[in-house]
Amino acid sequence: MVILIAGCSENRKPKYPEKPLGWEKLDTPTKSSLRGLSPLTEKIIWASGSNGTWLRTLDGGLTWDFGIVDGLDSVDFRDIEAIDANIAIVISSGQPAVIYKTNDGGKNWEKKFQGTEFDFYDGMAFHKKRGYVIGDVVDGKWILIETRDEGENWSLLELSPSGPPGGGSFAASGSSILVDNENIWFASAGKNSKIYHSRDNGYTWEVYFAPIIQQEDSHGIFSMTKLGGGVIVAVGGDFQTINENGKNLVISSDQGQTWRSGSGTPPSGYRSGVQYFPRFHWLVTVGPNGTDFSKDGGDNWEKFSNEGFHAVKLDKTSSSLWASGNDGRIARLMH
11 within domain boundaries: no
Residue 115 structural domain? 23-334
**Confidence check: pLDDT of 8 > 70:** no
316 within domain boundaries: yes
Q: What is the pTM of this model?
A: 0.94
pLDDT band at 192 (very low <50, low <70, confident <90, very high): confident
Main-chain dihedrals φ then ψ at residue 190, nearest 5 degrees: 70, -140
Residue % of the chain over a pLDDT of 70: 96
Domain with residue 102: its CATH number is 2.130.10.10
* pLDDT tens figures, 25-49: 999 999 999 999 999 999 999 999 9
97 within domain boundaries: yes
pLDDT of the residue at 122: 98
* pLDDT tens figures, 256-306: 999 999 999 999 999 999 999 999 999 999 999 999 999 999 999 999 999
9 within domain boundaries: no
pLDDT band at 4 (very low <50, low <70, confident <90, very high): very low
- Average of per-residue pLDDT across 72-78: 97
**Confidence check: pLDDT of 106 > 60:** yes
Counted domains in the chain: 1
Contacts of residue 192, Cβ cutoff 8 Å, sequence gap at least 6? 164, 167, 214
**Which of 291, 315, 335 has the alpha carbon at shortest distance from 46?**
315
255 within domain boundaries: yes
- Average of per-residue pLDDT across 116-142: 97
pLDDT band at 153 (very low <50, low <70, confident <90, very high): very high
